[in-house]
């Protein structure tokens, strides 16, 4: 959605048009897609947004509000509109979008909006509001097309035509029995191709992939991508068909989940929205930085312990930082891959073991390769093959430790029920920093100084 970049000229055009009359503004707005207007809204004050929404045709206005990011508060924009315009927009919205937007508002504001709109729309939205927003129920749209398993071709087509009036597009037709229990799916193509006297029960496909309303949204995303679906039906415990989740809703979920994981890996909590203020940022990051400070002291105490080695061999200090830094990078790579694997599926013991083994081997090979480079540099600059050997062993050792901790720690945290994306990076930095200082210093003390 965000491929459209706002450049200064677009913003200037809109702002200039806002100074003119409505007709002029309308002409300029016609050149922009709803999602582009939604992005432009991020830069405009509230009264300008309201004026634009009032000028736009209802179908475009509802698309703009649906495309707005949650943090730019589309709900507030809705509640401030003239009740008649507001009701038109809400009735035009898909139920799932309407629910997402209305759920951001206070209870009394929600009631105010729902009391003004069409009875049937209101009861569908009320039903969706009762689900947790991060579950299948919170994502689903209750508008769908379903036909009875006992109907014949003509009745089925009439039903499809009648139900599709309200819908922009549909991919799948759901087959239900008299009690609205999900039986399967049928494609519009098969209904059209069927003989005039065919019944739905002869052409439908049973045993569909479905999700329960309380399933977590990450799981829903996994199923949709695993089975390459464009939509997935949502049912309750009695297999009664409640709604459907379409792939466009899932793309938003994946975006949201990957942003969350990226922020967590950096030690930023998800309470801190990307556009949050400085107080929230400090509150969510400071505790992790304090923990980090403590671990940095641990690494520093290692250097202090080997003080005499550092004073006898000042060269080693420069190399230590390289080895510790390389370890940190390698561990972050192993961590990212492992956290990604965990988030895609819960690993079995065997898969977990293989993941750790793989990262051990990768660490060993990458460590040896980088170790050789450092060995050559030590030969070239310091003409000291023993120093080269110390650095080779330290680099290989630290990259092995990096691979092992990067893979093991998220798996262990997952087992004990801590979110691996949050806590892993702090623990792993501790390991690679300490090992990055300890290995070269200990090896130098025992091989070089005793040797010399």
Q: What are phi and psi of 244, to 5 degrees?
A: -140, 155
CATH 3.40.50.300 describes domain 146-247 = no
Task: Kindly compute the dihedral angle of the four CA atoms of residues 348, 137, 169, 181, in this order, to the nearest 10 degrees.
Answer: 90
Domain ranges of the chain: 8-130, 146-247, 278-451
**Do residues 14 and 40 lie in contact, with contact meaning Cβ atoms separated by under 8 Å?**
yes
Integer Cα distance of 168 and 157 in angstroms: 17
Q: Which residue has the higher pLDDT, 449 or 2?
A: 449
**Do residues 402 and 416 lie in contact, with contact meaning Cβ atoms separated by under 8 Å?**
no
Query: Domain spanning 8-130: which superfamily?
Result: MgtE N-terminal domain-like (1.25.60.10)
Q: What is the pLDDT of residues 408-428, one digit of tens each?
A: 988 888 888 777 766 777 788
Confidence bin at 272 (pLDDT 50/70/90): low
Average pLDDT over every residue of 304-332: 88
Q: Could you count the other beta carbons within 10 Å of the beta carbon of residue 7?
A: 8
The SS3 call for residue 81 is coil
Average pLDDT over every residue of 189-196: 90
Please, what is the average pLDDT of the chain?
Answer: 85
Check if 146-247 and 278-451 are the same fold. Answer: no
On the question of pLDDT at 153 being above 60, the answer is yes
The SS3 call for residue 1 is coil
Integer Cα distance of 42 and 111 in angstroms: 27
Q: What is the pLDDT of residue 1?
A: 41
Q: Could you count the other beta carbons within 10 Å of the beta carbon of residue 135?
A: 19
On the question of pLDDT at 357 being above 60, the answer is yes
What CATH number should be reported for the domain whose range is 278-451?
A: 1.10.357.20
């110390």: which residue's tokens? 390
Q: What is the pLDDT of residue 2?
A: 46
Q: What is the pLDDT of residue 321?
A: 87
Integer Cα distance of 435 and 424 in angstroms: 17
CB-based contacts of 106, cutoff 8 Å, min separation 6: none
Does the pTM exceed 0.75? Answer: no
315-344 and 385-416 helices, crossing angle to 10°: 30
Q: What is the pLDDT of residue 396?
A: 96
Task: Please list the alpha-helical segments (H only) found in 383-419.
Answer: 385-416
**Which of 14-28, 53-67, 339-353 shows the lowest mean pLDDT across its residues?**
339-353
- Give whichever of 80-94, 263-277, 389-403 has the largest mean pLDDT: 389-403
* Residue 240 bridge partners (DSSP): 181
On the question of pLDDT at 6 being above 80, the answer is no
CB-based contacts of 228, cutoff 8 Å, min separation 6: none
Integer Cα distance of 331 and 325 in angstroms: 10
Q: Could you count the other beta carbons within 10 Å of the beta carbon of residue 161?
A: 10
Integer Cα distance of 166 and 160 in angstroms: 11
Confidence bin at 4 (pLDDT 50/70/90): low
Average pLDDT over every residue of 49-72: 86
């200037």: which residue's tokens? 12
């Amino acid at each position: 959605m965000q491929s459209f970049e706002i450049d200064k000229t677009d913003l200037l055009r809109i702002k200039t048009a806002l100074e003119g009359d409505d007709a002029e503004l309308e002409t300029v707005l016609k050149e922009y897609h709803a999602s582009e207007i939604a992005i432009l809204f991020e830069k405009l004050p509230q009264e300008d947004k309201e004026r634009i929404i009032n000028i736009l045709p209802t179908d475009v206005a509802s698309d703009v509000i649906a495309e707005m990011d949650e943090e730019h508060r589309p709900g507030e924009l809705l509640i401030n509109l003239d009740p008649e315009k507001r009701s038109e927009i809400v009735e035009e919205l898909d139920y799932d979008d309407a629910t997402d937007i209305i759920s951001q508002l206070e209870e009394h504001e929600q009631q105010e909006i729902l009391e003004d709109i069409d009875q049937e729309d209101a009861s569908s939205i009320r039903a969706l509001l009762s689900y947790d927003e991060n579950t299948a129920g919170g994502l689903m749209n209750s508008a769908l097309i379903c036909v009875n398993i006992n109907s014949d071709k003509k009745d089925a087509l009439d039903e499809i035509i009648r139900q599709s009036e309200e819908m922009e597009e549909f991919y799948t037709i759901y087959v239900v029995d008299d009690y609205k229990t999900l039986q399967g799916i049928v494609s519009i193509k098969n209904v059209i191709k069927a003989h005039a006297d065919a019944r739905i029960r002869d052409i439908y496909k049973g045993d569909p992939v479905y999700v329960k309303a309380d399933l977590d949204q990450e799981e829903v995303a996994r199923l949709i991508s695993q089975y390459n679906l464009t939509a997935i039906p949502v049912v309750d415990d009695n297999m009664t068909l409640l709604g459907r989740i379409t792939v466009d809703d899932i793309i938003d979920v994946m975006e949201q989940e990957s942003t969350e994981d990226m922020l967590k890996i950096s030690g930023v909590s998800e309470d801190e929205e990307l556009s949050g203020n400085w107080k929230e940022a400090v509150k969510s990051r400071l505790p992790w930085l304090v923990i980090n400070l403590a671990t940095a002291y641990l690494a520093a105490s290692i250097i202090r312990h080997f003080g005499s080695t550092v004073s006898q061999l000042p060269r080693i200090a420069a190399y230590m930082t390289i080895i510790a830094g390389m370890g940190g990078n390698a561990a972050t790579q192993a961590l990212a891959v492992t956290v990604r694997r965990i988030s895609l599926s819960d690993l079995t013991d065997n898969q977990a073991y293989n993941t750790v083994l793989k990262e051990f081997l990768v660490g060993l090979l990458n460590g040896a390769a980088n170790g050789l480079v450092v060995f050559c540099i030590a030969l070239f600059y310091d003409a000291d093959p023993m120093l080269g050997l110390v650095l080779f062993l330290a680099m290989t050792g630290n990259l092995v430790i990096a691979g092992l901790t990067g893979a093991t720690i998220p798996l262990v945290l997952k087992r004990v029920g801590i979110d691996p994306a949050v806590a892993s990076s702090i623990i792993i930095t501790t390991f690679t920093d300490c090992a990055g200082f300890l290995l070269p210093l200990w090896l130098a003390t025992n091989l070089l100084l005793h040797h010399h």
